[in-house]
């Protein structure tokens, strides 16, 4: 009899803690049920063919449980057969221990999108973790057909994503009033630091690369490709008056002198340059100020098509040589 009592006591000692842990970990299901809204789907954000599915979620609790939401709920993307799981995530814990309103996202690289057909029917499934709920349930929400973006270019998708995130941040600020998620910079609206950047980096992994305009400090790839230098820009500038009344007037005037439009360089630019050097030499006893003005006159005349490119380049080269002489030798 004593042995039986001992066995019963030992069983109670082993089983009781398990029952207590189970009772402590069990949390009630949210009421009303969890939901998702404001879904969007963008593509080609980082590489051609990648897909980002994102939106708002709501795990409504007046008093959020002590168990974090990423231990209590799982979000899954389910295929059109309503069985195959294409991806799974956990809510990012930041506001209210991860409960109530937040943002979720599924990112699929171009390598992992083989099972996803653009515009197809899919389901967002919110599952309760059996380890935390006594009677776990699953709730399905269909992905609306109008959430698939019509944009194709990377820049357009990144801009659309940035706008949607700003809208989501505004909605979250209205609910979680103690947080400031947005800030104003010279370039426009950006995520605040640290709250806005911290939250959306966790909720949408890789968001800084997918929507760089939302960050005060942006990461840009340095372009190391070889550049072929051409005269296209200068040609466009010097030909700006072609087929206009200004160009026609210049041609008529040049014809009267029996020359080309470069005659205006001798009529206007050359006297201005000489005059600037003379005035500077008389007034300040230095010609450098005149040469600076001369450089501006030459540059303007070249853009107007009044100074030939060869003369413009030769004059600037001579000025560079003179400047080097004054800086390195004349002062010695």
Establish if 27 belongs to a structural domain: no
One domain for residues 202 and 250: no
What CATH number does the domain containing 192 carry?
2.60.40.150
Establish if 9 belongs to a structural domain: no
Q: Can you give the residue range of the structural domain that contains 285?
A: 232-330
Establish if 300 belongs to a structural domain: yes
One domain for residues 138 and 78: yes
One domain for residues 40 and 148: yes
Establish if 13 belongs to a structural domain: no
Window from 8-22, 63-77, 169-183 with minimum mean pLDDT = 8-22
Yes or no: say if 50 and 44 are a contact pair by the CB < 8 Å rule.
yes
- 224-233: pLDDT as tens digits: 777 788 878 7
Angle between the 195-203 and 154-175 helix axes, to the nearest 10 degrees?
Answer: 120
Establish if 227 belongs to a structural domain: no
Q: How far is CA 305 from CA 207, 233, 258, in A?
A: 48, 13, 17
One domain for residues 184 and 244: no
Query: Can you give the pLDDT at residue 3?
Result: 59
Q: What is the mean pLDDT of residues 253-275?
A: 75
One domain for residues 165 and 312: no
One domain for residues 94 and 205: yes
pLDDT at position 301 over 70: yes
Establish if 201 belongs to a structural domain: yes
One domain for residues 195 and 97: yes
Yes or no: say if 88 and 37 are a contact pair by the CB < 8 Å rule.
no
Establish if 104 belongs to a structural domain: yes
Establish if 207 belongs to a structural domain: yes
- 133-167: pLDDT as tens digits: 999 999 999 999 999 999 999 999 999 999 999 99
Q: What does pTM read for this prediction?
A: 0.62
């Amino acid at each position: 009899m004593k042995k039986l009592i001992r066995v019963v006591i030992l069983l109670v000692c082993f089983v009781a803690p398990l029952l207590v842990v189970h009772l402590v970990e069990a949390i009630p299901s949210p009421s009303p049920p969890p939901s998702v809204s404001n879904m969007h789907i963008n593509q080609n954000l980082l590489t051609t063919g990648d897909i980002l599915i994102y939106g708002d979620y709501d795990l409504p609790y007046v008093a959020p449980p002590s168990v974090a939401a990423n231990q209590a709920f799982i979000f899954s993307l389910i295929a059109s057969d309503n069985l195959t799981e294409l991806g799974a995530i956990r809510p990012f814990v930041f506001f209210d221990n991860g409960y109530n309103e937040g943002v979720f996202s599924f990112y699929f690289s171009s390598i992992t999108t083989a099972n996803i057909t653009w515009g197809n029917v899919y389901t967002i499934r919110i599952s309760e973790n059996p380890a935390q709920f006594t009677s776990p349930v699953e709730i399905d929400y269909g992905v609306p057909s109008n959430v698939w973006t019509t944009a194709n270019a990377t820049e357009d998708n990144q801009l659309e994503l940035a706008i949607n995130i700003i809208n989501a941040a505004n909605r979250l600020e209205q609910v979680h009033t103690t947080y400031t998620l947005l800030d104003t910079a010279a370039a426009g609206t950006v995520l605040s630091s640290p709250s806005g950047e911290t939250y959306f980096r966790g909720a949408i992994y890789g968001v800084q690369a997918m929507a760089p305009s939302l960050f005060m400090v942006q990461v840009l790839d340095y372009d190391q490709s070889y550049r072929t230098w051409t005269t296209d820009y200068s040609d466009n500038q010097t030909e700006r008056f072609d087929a206009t009344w200004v160009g026609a007037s210049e041609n008529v005037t040049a014809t009267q002198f029996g020359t080309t439009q470069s005659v205006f360089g001798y009529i206007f630019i050359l006297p201005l340059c000489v005059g600037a050097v003379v005035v500077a030499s008389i007034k300040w006893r230095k010609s450098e100020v005149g040469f600076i003005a001369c450089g501006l006159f030459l540059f303007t005349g070249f853009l107007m098509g009044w100074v030939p490119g060869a003369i413009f380049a030769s004059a600037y080269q001579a000025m560079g040589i003179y400047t080097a002489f004054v800086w390195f030798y004349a002062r010695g």
